[in-house]
Chains A and B, each alone.
Chain A
Amino acid sequence: MNGNKSRERWLGGLAIALGLILWQGVSAYLVKDPFILPGPGDVLFAFIALFWKGTLLLDFEASLIHFAIGLGAALLVGIPIGIAMGWNRRFDAFLDPVIEILRPIPPLAWIPFAIVWFGLTPYSAGFVIFIGSVFPIMINTYSGFRGVPRVFVEAGKMLGCTKNRYLIRYIAFPAALPSVAAGIRIATGVGWMCLVAAELFGVSKFGLGQKLWFFYNLHQMDSVVVYMILLGLTGLLLDMVFRHYVEAYFLRWRTGEVA
């Protein structure tokens, strides 16, 4: 999937180049209408224009704020609840039905209440992202804690780590961290996907998703494509930064582990 071997990396580059050529060909010779399908050239010029005269930086800033509010809240709520449910069977039995009822509701279905509760503020966009990302974090934390091998807990007890608080902190949390991290990574993806919809209803003057709708209303489809690509690349970047940072630092011990 990821071209580790640099010898094979050119294959991926080739596919991108072919894709661009195909795109240009279809838009210039088949569709012939930049409103229906702007070509790569149109998009490039739109990008240059937006870069010099647009509000790209402000859009990034606004979107990242919305995203940070949502993901931050999801971490603050999802991890403690996941830990409590994974560690305590009674708490699990108590909360599980409520979560299973709330979880299948699509995040975007919460938009009306986001507006009613938080108004047209960054917090309502953050709320929609929160709904999208809290469940993957909660559920992965839960299953990570459920899956902590009993022998680790018992070894900890034999070595004087007997209180629940310490067992969670020193044994269960590090043991569950790979699963928690995977949950955060999924949540990052889902949260980012909620962003465009979260900015659709005018919570701010700026934002990558907000601008996408703005230029659609102006029928500037080349600019719409610019924002689509920026959204995609930012999502990719977030994932890469997360993976690089977390896996290189927190999960160093997993390299070479076959489990």
Chain B
Amino acid sequence: MLRRISSGGGQERWPDMGNLKIQDLSKSFTREDGSEMAALDHLSLDIADKEFVCVLGSSGCGKTTLLRLIAGLDQDREGQIILDGEEMHGSSPKIGFVFQEYSLFPWRTVIDNIVFGLEMNGVGREERYRTAERYLELVGLKQFRNSYPSELSGGMRQRVAVARALALEPVLLLMDEPFGALDAQTRNMLQKELLEIWEKTRKTIVFITHSVDEAVFLADRIIVLTPRPGRVCQIFPIDLKRPRDRTSVEFAQVRRQVLDLIGQHCTLQ
């Protein structure tokens, strides 16, 4: 599915870095009746450059809130979010985001969706299409260049969403259960493709999921959050060699360990 993109093509727009430091991050929301609800409680986390981290937690544990705070989509937080030594406030082109639900602009064709970010950042017409074509090729959808999102399957839409986020060449890619709505087979395929893309583009990825299987397959490290308010409960480094075989004995063992530890220390539904 994936084709190797020509090397030496695009210049990186940022120094080749992407380490993320989160310190004492707290966030609470105000309910309708005026009472406060804590979503995150003094969460601290270090993510290394080019690391693939999966955040695992039950629904409502604040994992999406964590991602939205990093992205700058939610504001009014306590604590610090530092990317490459720079405190983050609001959205930044250094951060790409892939949403859980379908977020492609239905009125734009596939290629024009991928071009969008470059267009908004004032990249010249010719250059932005050249860059977009490269990422379109990276996700293997060249023949759907001029299709509208409504003509694509769910898996293809999320591939385009990944290409669209990558086109701005962010250092950090945030993914909020991007494959949650897909069937199991498509999901496995996209996980494999995502790893290939990650190996080629070397981004730092923070990937949210509630599937232990998905996390063990993808991550360098799994971070498990406690139920609300979210705090880091456990961190598991996954040392399995890549490419990982989800049917292998080792894989099953690691998955069992992760599940056991979660069961002992963090209540995860």
Which residues of A are at the interface with B, using a C-beta cutoff of 8 A? 151-152, 154-162, 166, 170-171, 174-175, 177, 252-258
When the two chains form their complex, are residues B168 and A171 in contact, meaning their CB atoms are under 8 A apart?
no
Q: Mark B18-41, 1 if CB is under 8 A from A, else 0.
A: 000000000000000000000000
Contact of A151 among B71, B95, B99, B116 (CB under 8 A): B99
8 A Cβ contacts from B166-189 to A: 168
Q: Does B217 contact A (CB under 8 A)?
A: no
Chain A residues lying within 8 Å of B109, measured Cβ to Cβ, are 253
Whether, in the assembled complex, B148 has its beta carbon less than 8 Å from a beta carbon of chain A, the answer is yes
Is B117's CB within 8 Å of the partner chain A? yes
How does the 8 Å CB contact mask read for B73-112 relative to A, with 1 for contact and 0 for none?
Answer: 1000000000000000011010111010111111111000
Output the nearest chain B residue to A159 by Cβ-Cβ distance. B117
Please name all residues of chain A whose beta carbon is closer than 8 Å to the beta carbon of B120 when the two chains form the complex.
Answer: 156, 159-161, 166, 170
- Distance A157 CA – B116 CA, assembled complex (angstroms): 11
Cβ 8 A contact of A155, one of B93, B105, B148: B105
B-to-A contact residues, CB < 8 Å: 71-73, 90-91, 93, 95-97, 99, 101-109, 116-117, 120-121, 148-151, 164-165, 168
Contacts of B149 in A (CB 8 A): 253
What is the minimal beta-carbon distance from A208 to any residue of chain B, in angstroms? 37
A258 contacts across to B, CB distance below 8 A = 150
Q: How far is the CA of A124 from the CA of B35 in the complex (A)?
A: 56
Question: With the chains together, A255 CA to B95 CA distance in Å?
Answer: 33
User: Nearest Cβ distance between residue A114 and chain B, in whole angstroms?
Assistant: 38
Report chain B residues within 8 Å CB of A253.
106-109, 148-150
A165 to chain B, nearest CB (A): 12
**Cα–Cα, bound, A156→B149 (Å):** 16
Complexed CA–CA distance, A196 and B149 (Å): 45
User: In the complex, are the beta carbons of B93 and A174 less than 8 A apart?
Assistant: no
CB of A89 to closest CB in B, whole Å:
16
Contact B107 A159 (CB under 8 A): no
The 21 sampled A-B contact pairs (Cβ below 8 Å) are A154-B97, A155-B97, A155-B104, A158-B73, A159-B168, A160-B93, A160-B117, A160-B120, A160-B121, A161-B116, A161-B120, A170-B116, A170-B120, A171-B105, A253-B106, A253-B108, A253-B149, A254-B106, A255-B150, A256-B150, A257-B148
